[in-house]
Amino acid sequence: MSANGDESLLALVREDLRGFGGYASARSQSFQGEVWLNANESPWANPADGSGGNRRYPDPQPQALCERLAGLYGCSPEQLLVGRGSDEAIDLLVRALCVPGRDAVVVTPPVFGMYAVSTRLQNAPLVEVPLRDTEAGFIADMDAIAAAALQSRARLVFLCSPSNPTGGTIALEDIAALAERLHGHALVVVDEAYGEFSDLPSAIGLMARRSNIAVLRTLSKAHALAAARIGSLIADAALIRVLRACQAPYPLPGPCVQLALAGLDEAAQALTRQRVRLLKAERMQLQAALVRLPGVCRVYPSQGNYLLVRFDDAEQAFRSLLTAGVVVRDQRAAPQLGDALRISIGTPEQNARVLAALSAQEIAA
């Protein structure tokens, strides 16, 4: 990237953080030695620690994991920030780019709530551009998003694609066009937490031409490692350096890193791809079956591992599922979703249980 590209992107960072060095932890310094006495760690292992390795602080950005993830996502390790799920990256972006009370964040409700939570915690103005409910499903109004971002002098625009909870996606050419319109004004962050379930390519491929695009990815969904809490932000290397300075010293526990490395080996990735194909087939079958049920008003098309469903009586549907031991996400408090539930795609047996519970409520009625 050219120097001008770096400068235009770094101009979006808070003025007081542009030269911020952050905390220099013991593991952030490159030394070689046999006796490590620089971090006030215990010289003895905990009795529960069979390997003894957990008495040491972990690497802030584990090289092996960063390289594995960079290969998975098609970026360089320098473009990657690994942290505690996507949530940490969202929070870091808002804190690093938005001056409290001044720099706005644009979101597109109904959408993942952590964008708004991080914005509120930073006391940054929150600008909402609602998704439009159309015959094709919920879609993002890109012209309205651009206008709102420019008018509010926003520093961040969060796009969720596939969108949670609606399941819709945003075409890459629309993302690129928005980034072009907001060049020098805002960073466009594309949340691809459910990207493995989508038929669209990743927006990571746009970053070579648009420095103000960043992408969020996670191991919590398709890779089945939600408890490990490992997510990634892929962005311009200059921005990644700023965010690393703002990040807590040791964001990734060592055991979680080892679990992630094992969960990303060739055999595990092959199984993940197989399960994604199965889940997408189940998504299609469950959608077709739900549409035929009495009491179901609409099932939205989805590129995620879930379906958004409107009901004549969402309360009754929710209670019927609970009675059958099935817990789904109640979306009725979300904007435009007063009659909707979000149903994650499960195993074939679990999906059959959903259909049985909803069918039984109609028979009882």
Digit-by-digit pLDDT tens for the chain (365 residues) are 334 456 889 999 999 998 888 887 777 767 788 888 888 989 999 999 988 889 999 999 999 999 999 999 999 999 999 999 999 999 999 999 999 999 999 999 999 999 999 999 999 999 999 999 999 999 999 999 999 999 999 999 999 999 999 999 999 999 999 999 999 999 999 999 999 999 999 999 999 999 999 999 999 999 999 999 999 999 999 999 999 999 999 999 999 999 999 999 999 999 999 999 999 999 999 999 999 999 999 999 999 999 999 999 999 999 999 999 999 999 999 999 999 999 999 999 999 999 999 998 765 55
Cα Rg of the chain, angstroms? 22
Predicted confidence at residue 6, as pLDDT, reads 67
* Bond prior to 249 in cis (omega within 30° of 0): no
φ and ψ at 169, to 5 degrees?
-120, 170
Residue 108 CB neighbours (<10 A): 29
Predicted confidence at residue 364, as pLDDT, reads 54
> In this structure, what DSSP letter does residue 265 have?
S
Per the listing, tokens 């001008």 go with 4
> Can you count the helices (H) and strands (E) in the chain?
11, 13
Q: Which fold has domain 268-364?
A: Aspartate Aminotransferase, domain 1 (3.90.1150)
pTM for this entry: 0.94
* Cα–Cα nearest to 150, from 183, 122, 123: 183
Predicted confidence at residue 11, as pLDDT, reads 94
Q: What is the total residue count of the chain?
A: 365
3-state secondary structure 324-342: CCCCCEECCCCCCCCCEEE
Domain boundaries for CATH 3.40.640.10 within the chain: 3-264
Confirm or reject CATH 3.40.50.720 for domain 3-264, answering yes or no.
no
Domain boundaries for CATH 3.90.1150.10 within the chain: 268-364
> In this structure, what DSSP letter does residue 136 have?
T
